[in-house]
Amino acid sequence: MATSKYIIQVSEIDGRKVNFTIKIKAVRLLQKLGYGYDEGKPTLELIVSDEEGAKIVINIRNFLKAKFDNLIREWGLFCISNATVVDSPLQFRTKHIQHEYKLMFTKKTTVVPFPPTEWRGTNGFSFIHFDVLRSRGLKVGVSADVLRC
């Protein structure tokens, strides 16, 4: 497991947090075209869940993609240290992830996998009712899990 002294939950992340470690499950791994400095270049976006089920988005810029591409897997369990906390503008938040901040990887970010026996949390699903899906009540680009009974 990671060697940092300060493990926090997603709900504790704010603009003042530094030098923390977060224990997460990668719920979704998306390859996207970047914007800003990475305009038109492939970047990675992770939707992660902590043990309490709270979710946050992590962005991995193009120049760091090769470093983390083979390490991070969807549904993998990781301890992440030295990620930067940045604002998540309201227009980029999804219906299921309303956290006002997101994390960005830097050159100093470390990712350490850990075994499933150390995970005590939820599975990270975001279930919605099937009628909501049929009524097209979701915003474009929102991912959700549907369990049909």
Residue 1 lies inside a defined structural domain of this protein: no
Residue 134 lies inside a defined structural domain of this protein: no
pLDDT (average), residues 88-116: 76
- Which residues have CB under 8 Å from 121's CB, separation 6+? 25, 49, 50, 51, 52, 53
Residue 146 lies inside a defined structural domain of this protein: no
- Which residues have CB under 8 Å from 55's CB, separation 6+? 10, 27, 47, 48, 49, 96, 97, 99, 124, 126
Residue 25 lies inside a defined structural domain of this protein: yes
Model confidence at 2, pLDDT cuts 50, 70, 90, reads: very low
Q: The domain containing residue 111 runs over which residues?
A: 7-121
CB 49 within 8 A of CB 122: yes
User: In sequence order, which ranges of the chain are alpha helices (DSSP H)?
Assistant: 62-69, 130-134
Per-residue pLDDT of 61-84, as tens digits, reads 889 988 988 888 888 899 999 998
Residue 147 lies inside a defined structural domain of this protein: no
Residue 113 lies inside a defined structural domain of this protein: yes
- Check whether 94 has a pLDDT greater than 60: no
Per-residue pLDDT of 119-132, as tens digits, reads 776 555 656 666 77
CB 8 within 8 A of CB 80: no
- Check whether 42 has a pLDDT greater than 80: yes
Residue 99 lies inside a defined structural domain of this protein: yes
What secondary structure letter does DSSP report for 83? Answer: P
Q: What does the pLDDT read at residue 70? A: 84
Domain containing residue 67: CATH number: 2.40.50.140
For tokens 């492939």, the residue is 42
Residue 138 lies inside a defined structural domain of this protein: no
pLDDT (average), residues 88-96: 56
Q: Could you give phi then psi for residue 117, rounded to 5 degrees?
A: -65, -20
Q: Which residue has the higher pLDDT, 43 or 36?
A: 43
Q: What does the pLDDT read at residue 3? A: 47
- Check whether 57 has a pLDDT greater than 70: yes
pLDDT (average), residues 99-105: 82
In the chain, how many domains are there? Answer: 1
This model's pTM is above 0.75: no
Q: What does the pLDDT read at residue 107? A: 93
Q: What does the pLDDT read at residue 110? A: 92
Q: What does the pLDDT read at residue 112? A: 92
Q: What does the pLDDT read at residue 149? A: 58
For tokens 């995970």, the residue is 119
